[in-house]
Structure 1
Amino acid sequence: MTSPLVIKLGGRVLQSASNLERLLTTVQQLALLRPLVLVHGGGDQVEALLLQLGHTSLKVDGQRITPAAQMPIVAGVLAGDVNSQLVALAQQHQLNAVGLTLAAGQSITCDVDANRGAVGIPKPNDATLLQVLLDKNFLPILSSIGSSDSGARLNVNADLAAAAVAQLLHADLILLTDVPGILDKNGDLIETILADQADALIADGTVRDGMLVKLNAAVQAARASRRSIAVAGWQDAKALTRLARGEAAGTRIRL
């Protein structure tokens, strides 16, 4: 079997039906090339509902602080609303989608990031369930909700979750974003970043906020899997097709 491709969805692509329609049309074509796993966040949707319900929402270095009291809301949005919408739309595109959390089949386990509340630090654990689904031509769609050893639900950054899933499956990884890839201070695409260059790009402010988390996740996945990791824009179907074929597009993070 061809090695799987893990694709992380987030940002504006999850905010409108037309965006999702456009991306899933591309995913339908990519599924003809190799087995796929989708991992998604939904931070904007979570934040909107939290504010609507009178909760404050705080991020530090691009990652959300999640009080335990907010987890029913966070899980309801990510594992419920967003995941079920993605599964339904994927099935409309003849993709045999299955909605899961990171904890399903103990695929990904989590340590608790005590500094961020009910936030999980994901670790690859057991590939059995995902491998069975891929072998049977299903499309797993995983929300970034994990659980602790004690059974508490945890909010997991979706970039880090996707990196852990890619490590678990020895898969290639594409982290989708709203821009063509990681940009320099002039707004130009950086085509290649060596893992050892990442700290310098973060230190001088070239990479910050949500992109900082993406870069760290990509470096983590590259070092664990010994594969290059891509950060690319979801709007460019041709670029995603090139990446699925192992060709250059977006930003590649390499060792």
Structure 2
Amino acid sequence: MTSPLVIKLGGRVLQSASNLERLLKTVQQLALLRPLILVHGGGDQVEALLLQLGHTSLKVDGQRITPAVQMPIVAGVLAGDVNTQLVALAQQHQLNAVGLTLAAGHSIACDIDANRGAVGIPKPNDAKLLQVLLDQNFLPILSSIGASDSGERLNVNADLAAAAVAQLMHADLILLTDVPGILDKNGDLIETILADEADALIADDTVRDGMLVKLNAAVQAARASRRSIAVAGWQDAKALTRLARGEAAGTRIRL
């Protein structure tokens, strides 16, 4: 079987009907060529509901601080609203989508990040469920909700979650974002970054906040899988096709 491709979607793509339509048409075409797994976040949706319900919301270095009291809200948005919406739309495009959390089938284990509250640090664990689904031509769509060994629900950064899933499945990884890729200080696209160069980009503040997490996830996945990892903009559906074919688009993180 051709190696799988893991595609990470930000929740923001769901807020643009036209871009999501183009993206899912591309996913539909790619699914004919190789097994796919989608991993999604939903930070904007979580943020909106937290504020609506009177909660404060804080991020540090691009990752959300999640008090345990907020987990019912976070899980409801990500594993409930966003995941079911994406599954329904994927099925409209003749994709045999199945909605899951990271904890399903013990696929991704999580340690608790005590500094960030009910936040999980994901690690590959058991590929059996996802492999069975891929073998039967299903499209797994995973929300970034995990669980600890003690059964505590955990909020997991979706970029880190996607990297862990890619490692688990020995898959290629594409992280889709709101910009064309990783940008330098002048706002120009960096087409290729060696994994060992990433620290310099972080140290001089070229990369920060959400893109900092994305770059760390890409480097982690590149080193673990020995594969190049791509970061690209979700607005350009053609870029996703080019990346899936191994062609140039966005930013490639290489060893």
Tell me the TM-score normalized by structure 2. 0.98
Q: Structure 2, unaligned stretches of length 5 or more?
A: none
Residues 153-202 of structure 1: CA distance to partner in whole angstroms, max 9, x if unpaired? Answer: 00000000000000000000000001110011111110000011111101
Q: Which has the larger displacement, 181-190 or 239-248?
A: 239-248
Cα drift, residue 14 of structure 1: 2.2
| SS of equivalent to 1:140 | strand
The count of aligned residue pairs is 255
CA contact (8 A) 1:26 1:237 kept: yes
**Partner Cα distance (1:34, 1:53) in 2:** 42
Cα drift, residue 238 of structure 1: 2.0
CA contact (8 A) 1:34 1:244 kept: no
Q: Which has the larger displacement, 179-188 or 104-113?
A: 179-188
**Partner Cα distance (1:246, 1:33) in 2:** 13
CA contact (8 A) 1:33 1:245 kept: no
**Partner Cα distance (2:14, 2:201) in 1:** 28
Residues 113-167 of structure 1: CA distance to partner in whole angstroms, max 9, x if unpaired? Answer: 0000000000000000000000100000000000000000000000000000000
Tell me the TM-score normalized by structure 1. 0.98
Q: Structure 1, unaligned stretches of length 5 or more?
A: none
Cα drift, residue 25 of structure 1: 1.3
- Superposition CA RMSD, Å: 0.8
Cα drift, residue 82 of structure 1: 0.1
Cα drift, residue 17 of structure 1: 2.8
**Partner Cα distance (1:168, 1:12) in 2:** 26
CA contact (8 A) 1:11 1:177 kept: no
CA contact (8 A) 1:12 1:19 kept: no
**Partner Cα distance (1:252, 1:11) in 2:** 22
Q: Which residue of 2 aligns with 1:184?
A: 184
Counterpart check, 1:119 vs 2:122: no
| SS of equivalent to 2:2 | coil
User: Once the two structures are aligned, what percentage of the paired residues are identical?
Assistant: 95
Cα drift, residue 247 of structure 1: 1.9
Cα drift, residue 79 of structure 1: 0.1
**Partner Cα distance (1:98, 1:187) in 2:** 38
100 and 11 in structure 1: CA distance in 2 versus 1, 3 angstrom threshold? closer
Runs of 4+ in 1 over 4 A off after TM superposition: none
